[in-house]
Amino acid sequence: MIAEKVGRFFSWANACCRKSSWKDLALIKFCLCAEGVLAGLCVPPEKRKKAALGALLVFLITSVPLMLRFFQVVKEEQAAEEEDEDDYLDYYEIDED
């Protein structure tokens, strides 16, 4: 029963992401950043170094794959744009015969 509800939640989250723009995702990131700052303020001073190292580890583990994916999408988009441009130029090519 719980797995079914969690599955439905993830399905809704996927649908929400499909309907979101980069601006919506940026707002989510700012919201989560603010939440992280608020949580960080609750960490006792003697444990802040460990919390900071943990946060850095999570940041690196999550940001590197996201950026790699982003650059992959950029490369694919640029290739598609070049292909479209080549098709356009081929269509209007003037025969020099």
* pLDDT tens per residue across span 66-90: 899 999 999 999 988 888 776 666 6
pLDDT over 80 at 40, yes or no: yes
Please state, in angstroms and rounded to a whole number, the distance separating the CA atoms of residues 49 and 55.
10
User: What is the model's pTM?
Assistant: 0.60
Q: Residues 3-36: pLDDT tens digits?
A: 888 889 899 999 988 899 989 989 999 999 999 9
Q: Does 2 score more than 80 pLDDT?
A: yes
Tokens of residue 80, six digits = 């598609």
Q: Give the pLDDT of residue 92.
A: 62
What is the rounded CA–CA span in Å between residue 5 and residue 7? Answer: 5
